[in-house]
Chains A and B, each alone.
Chain A
Amino acid sequence: GNSVTQMEGPVTLSEEAFLTINCTYTATGYPSLFWYVQYPGEGLQLLLKATKADDKGSNKGFEATYRKETTSFHLEKGSVQVSDSAVYFCALSNTGNQFYFGTGTSLTVIP
């Protein structure tokens, strides 16, 4: 079947620290992979995506590389800001554009 496993939070970092949020997946076929971000009181927003193996998605300083050999799509950012505080969701989509989400990782960045 299809599923996504994320590292559990919450994660608390100081401003300018390096961020990694781990994500691994199980899927049939060749899924597309996504990271979504959810700010308080809002819906999920697409952060970045990758559609095939070895693709790197990037946006707003965040990056993630689609690793088929390790079935992973870890999210990284070199220097986090207070404004990055949010909940981050890893997701995959498969046949018929059906999406499967991880449980989310809460990030708090302190000044």
Chain B
Amino acid sequence: DGGITQSPKYLFRKEGQNVTLSCEQNLNHDAMYWYRQDPGQGLRLIYYSQIVNDFQKGDIAEGYSVSREKKESFPLTVTSAQKNPTAFYLCASSIELSSGELFFGEGSRLTVL
């Protein structure tokens, strides 16, 4: 079945550590996105990518980094510079950057201890 796979589903991290969240899609979509969701709030865009080796900052990119070495993969690294990293992270893709609905993964819940 086609879809988006995020891993891990739950992750605990100590302060000062970097952590990488995986996102893989087999939908053959060009565009991929990372969103952050805090309790009781909507989604905020962290980074997005239109094609391999190209990505753009979203509204809250500080403290995060991404790479797009393969069309299918768009991992997100939460660095120690992110002041409040505890959140629910959602990866999404769309057919192309300027059109189409977003297809989402099941999310990764990061907790900083």
Q: Do A and B bind each other?
A: no
B residues sitting closer than 8 Å to A (CB atoms) are none
